[in-house]
Structure 1
Amino acid sequence: MTSKGASYNLIMDHEKEMKRKISNRESAKRSRMRRDQHMKELNDQMVYFAKKRDEMLSKMEGVAQEYAAMEMENMVLRSQKQELEKRLEYAKRVCGWCDGDGHVSMLPMGGFQEPWLRPWDQHQISNSLYPMSSTGNFHL
């Protein structure tokens, strides 16, 4: 090869090397841009899911509070039911003291300790024995 041909090859090799460097730089730049975009998307997802988690925790807390309130109300209703069942049983016993003609039989009342069955004993009456108010609502 002539010196002219050798220098031409050197120039061509240099141009190829420069094109390759430029191509590599552009490829690296695109790669960095894709990586940055991916990181931004991941950060956006983190924010989104953190917000969703907080919303779900808030809803769960609300449901837990409602559950606790319902449990408390159920306890009150069960207590009221028991009290009403006791009153019904005592009312049935009182009705049992009457014979078929409406006359009061001579069954002893000493066995009963309920003040509403013995209103003349005012010293036995207390609010703890009367959970119902004058409006008919229970107070616990």
Structure 2
Amino acid sequence: MKLSTKGRYGLMAMEVLKDAYGDGPVSVNTIANEKNISEAYLEQLFSLLKKTGLITSIRGAQGGYELARNPDDITIGEVLRSLEGEVELSCCDGNVPSCKEDAPCRMKSVLDRIESGISELTESISLSEL
């Protein structure tokens, strides 16, 4: 299993915002240079994070982005869901008539347990732990 670029880069950017928490906004340029991520890609990620209320933007010459909440109150799970959606490993939805094979349906309960474990783990880690 591998975390997508969106998830990895998003966590890297959130780490920078976590480190600057309480010191004011951080520019996209600063984060891009520090983490070697393109500014355009960061803007896409920040749009998603802003939409879900994890970060806020400040306009102006001294503007940039900052965390909307204390890093202790933001989980890695929230960040990943904002960027990637829910963890979904199941290859079927359990709706037997729509299944093309028996194998995916037999695996569903195991995949559901793995999904649950990943969700529980990511919800137990706060951004401040990065």
Q: Which bracket does the TM-score occupy, shorter chain normalised? A: under 0.3
Q: Structure 2-normalised TM-score?
A: 0.24
Question: Higher Cα Rg: structure 1 or 2?
Answer: 1
Q: Which has the higher helix share?
A: 1
Higher relative contact order (CA 8 A, sep 6+): 2
More strand by share: 2
